[in-house]
Structure 1
Amino acid sequence: MPYPKGHKSKVREQIIASAARAFRTNGVRNISLPYIMKGAGLTHGGFYAHFKNKDQLVIETFHFAITDTIKMLQSVADKKADQPRIQTIIEFYLSTVHRDQTEVGCILPALAGEIAQLSQEVRKAYTDELKRFMAFIADTGNIDLSKSYALVSSMIGTIALARAVNDSQFSDQLLMAGRTQAKHILNSN
């Protein structure tokens, strides 16, 4: 019996969503294709019907994950009309909620430490998605790209460090310092 129309694209989306959760939490190199497929509710034998290799999956997952993060940040900003959207985004991005929910958080800090060891194609995809995220922040904050580069770099570094340390009080202090620094970047000339 043939699969219903759209089945293959739906399965592909399940695989990408599973990969996004896995990569956000455990990185790229530490995750196997069988683990990703199991997370999608599938056997690993079907992987190659959807992707030519793991690099292709990683590349498509980056685009999916950044699109997902942008939608989440827009939604968070929409709920707080009493302050500038960029301020709400910074506060959420550098929050304990974002720090602690790695499986749905921004993929950029999750992979920043290992991306340089991956293929050139994967690095290019990461670079493209980082630029897209920086453009989103620039547009949302009505700031130039140079200021966005500094702001996003500070935000990614802060959340990466806050996730890395094993001292929760220190991690909270890093987040608070990151929010303060982000506001300084926003208000600088």
Structure 2
Amino acid sequence: MPYPEGHKIKVRGRIIESAAKAFRTNGIRDISVPFIMKGVGLTHGGFYSHFDNKEQLVSETCQYAISDTISLLQKAAEKEEGKPKIDTVIDYYLSTYHRDQTEVGCILPALSSEISRSSEEVRQVFTRELQRMIDFISTLAQINKSTGSAVLSMMVGTLVLARSVNDSKLSDSLLETGKQQAKGIIKTNQ
């Protein structure tokens, strides 16, 4: 009996979601195709009916994960009333929740160091998606793209450092300082 219409697209989406969760948590290199496929209850043999190779999956996962992050940040900004939306986005991005929930967090801090050693195809997609995040931040904050780049770089760098240390007070302090500085940059450049 044939699969229902749209089945292959749904399975492909589930594979990308599984990869996003795995890559966000453990990076690219340490995650195997069988691990990703196991995450959706499939064997790794079926992978190649959806993707040519792992690099294609990484590229599509970057696109999915950035869209997911932008959507999440937009929803957070819409919920909060009484303060600028960009402040809500910064507060969410540099929150202890985002720091601690790597599997649903932004993919930029998780993959940036590995992407520099990836194929040109993956780097091209990552670059395009990074530019989308810069555009999102710049538009929301009503600042130019250069300032948006600086703000996003500060946010990503702060999150990387906050996740890296084993001192919870220092980690929390990094997040708070990052929030203050990112908001300060925006206020002086609006």
Structure 2 counterpart of 1:139: 139
Separation (CA, whole Å) in 1 of partners of 2:157 and 2:120: 22
1:129 aligns with 2:156: no
Shift of residue 68, structure 1, vs aligned partner: 0.3
Separation (CA, whole Å) in 2 of partners of 1:113 and 1:162: 16
Structure 1 counterpart of 2:164: 164
Matches within 5 A, 1:29-178: 29-178=29-178
Q: Deviations over 1:83-123 (max 9, x none)?
A: 11100000000010000000000000111122111111111
Q: Deviations over 1:120-179 (max 9, x none)?
A: 111111111000010011111111101100000000000011111111111111101101
Separation (CA, whole Å) in 2 of partners of 1:40 and 1:133: 28
Shift of residue 78, structure 1, vs aligned partner: 0.9
Structure 1 counterpart of 2:17: 17
Could you tell me which amino acid in structure 2 is paired with residue 127 of structure 1? T
Separation (CA, whole Å) in 2 of partners of 1:81 and 1:40: 38
How many residue pairs get matched?
189
Shift of residue 71, structure 1, vs aligned partner: 0.5
Separation (CA, whole Å) in 1 of partners of 2:165 and 2:121: 30
Shift of residue 82, structure 1, vs aligned partner: 1.1
Could you tell me which amino acid in structure 2 is paired with residue 64 of structure 1? Y
Q: CA RMSD in A?
A: 0.7
Q: Secondary structure at the match of 2:116?
A: helix
Structure 2 counterpart of 1:26: 26
TM-score, normalised relative to structure 1: 0.98
In structure 1, list runs of 5 or more residues that go unmatched: none
Separation (CA, whole Å) in 2 of partners of 1:184 and 1:141: 12
Q: Secondary structure at the match of 1:169?
A: helix
Separation (CA, whole Å) in 2 of partners of 1:181 and 1:85: 16
Shift of residue 183, structure 1, vs aligned partner: 1.3
Q: Secondary structure at the match of 1:42?
A: coil
Shift of residue 187, structure 1, vs aligned partner: 1.5
Separation (CA, whole Å) in 2 of partners of 1:42 and 1:82: 46
Could you tell me which amino acid in structure 2 is paired with residue 30 of structure 1? D
Shift of residue 18, structure 1, vs aligned partner: 0.1
Structure 1 counterpart of 2:181: 181
Q: Deviations over 1:7-64 (max 9, x none)?
A: 0000000000000000000001110000000011111110000000000000000000
Separation (CA, whole Å) in 2 of partners of 1:75 and 1:41: 30
